[in-house]
Amino acid sequence: MFDYNNIRLQYISPTWLPGTIQAAMLRLDLLHGAVSGNKWFKLQCNVAAAKAQGREHIVTFGGAYSNHLAATAAACQLLGIRCTAVVRGAAAPELSHTLQLAQQQGMRLHFVTREAYRDKETTDWTSLFPNAYIVPEGGHNAAGAKGCEEILPLKDCSAFTHILCAVGTGTTLAGLINSAQPQQQLKGYVVLKGASYLEHEVRSLLLRDQSPQWELVHEHHGGGYAKVKPELIAFMNQFYEETQIPLDIVYTGKLVQGFKKDLESGVFPPGSRVLLIHSGGLQGNLSLKPGELSY
């Protein structure tokens, strides 16, 4: 159903990449049309746990533009599992394209107030959804990180000196840290503004004390979560022209743009071999006006 052979390791040479530095993208976005990128990796162990516990209903959480809800809806449809999304805020008169698609794929939408959503971690959802398996918002749990340990072994990634990914909840980064070589350096480019709690969130999912070196980069959120400046769009269009790789506006666009800025500030020494994780999320580009992106 999910063919990992679709995933490619693609070397890139955009005009702004110095000749002394190698860079490649691990194209998780090619995994599957509807369940693309890191979201399937975060879901796989959760789905297996739900099955092992005999639960036939998955309940998870997100906002109206959540890639996690989109991927969960598509995966559950493919796997024949019932699923419900607890959605933040009242239903808008016209649902977002993400929620419309999720609903068409059989996901039930349960709207709650922002206050109730904020308390979701301490709410007993099984009284409302008996025998359901609960996947936290963004797939942020130990099973989510465990599934992401399978990303780096997909290809021979051992020669890269740096591994870079976009960070929302930090679950993907934690799985990468847990499965990287001890000499590799990991950098998570945070797409939220002022998200200093993330260091703790990542650390809580790490398996070893002596993990490879890692850090969160907080300077390249580009104005905050899902904020899109014209320079980001121009950068993404140019990157597509030069590499034929489509990026998304919320995560991977900011990751690659942040990488370029860090290159310009000399963060990566000559001889660095940098792996960028393309975590997918391209469905998020549908919220742009047609024609803004060249792809």
Cite the active site residues: 66
Of the candidates 185, 195, 187, 194, which has an alpha carbon nearest to the alpha carbon of residue 255?
A: 187
Q: For 86, which DSSP code?
A: E
Q: How far is the CB of 264 from ligand PLP (least distance, A)?
A: 23
Short-list 14, 16, 27, 110, CA closest to 62: 110
Q: What angle do CA 234, 250, 3 make, to 5 degrees?
A: 105
- CA gap 77, 24 in Å, rounded: 33
Query: Cα separation of 86 and 111, whole Å?
Result: 6
Q: Output the smallest distance, CB 96 to ligand PLP, in A.
A: 15
Query: Which residue lies nearer to ligand PLP by CB, 18 or 153?
Result: 153
Residue closer to ligand PLP by CB (options 50, 166) is 166
The residue (of 59 and 246) whose beta carbon lies closer to ligand PLP is: 246
Residues 6 or more apart whose Cβ sits within 8 Å of residue 277: 25, 26, 28, 38, 151, 163, 164, 165, 166, 172, 176, 255
Looking at beta carbons only, is 168 or 222 nearer to ligand PLP?
Answer: 168
d(CA 106, CA 95): 15
CB nearer to ligand PLP: give 226 or 263.
226
Tokens of 29: 């976005």
Positions in the binding site for ligand PLP (CB under 6 A):
37-39, 67-68, 138, 166-173, 248, 251-252, 279-281
Nearer to ligand PLP, 65 or 268 (CB): 65
* Both tokens assigned to 115: 């206050």
Nearest distance from residue 43's CB to ligand PLP, in Å? 11
Closest CB to ligand PLP belongs to which residue? 281
User: What minimum distance in Å lies between the beta carbon of 168 and ligand PLP?
Assistant: 3
Q: Which two tokens stand for residue 123?
A: 């709410």
Give min distance, CB of 130 to ligand PLP, in A.
Answer: 28
CB proximity list for 206: less than 8 A, separation 6 or greater: 174, 177, 178
The DSSP output letter for 132 is P
CB count in 10 Å sphere of residue 121: 9
For 175, the token pair is: 């799985």
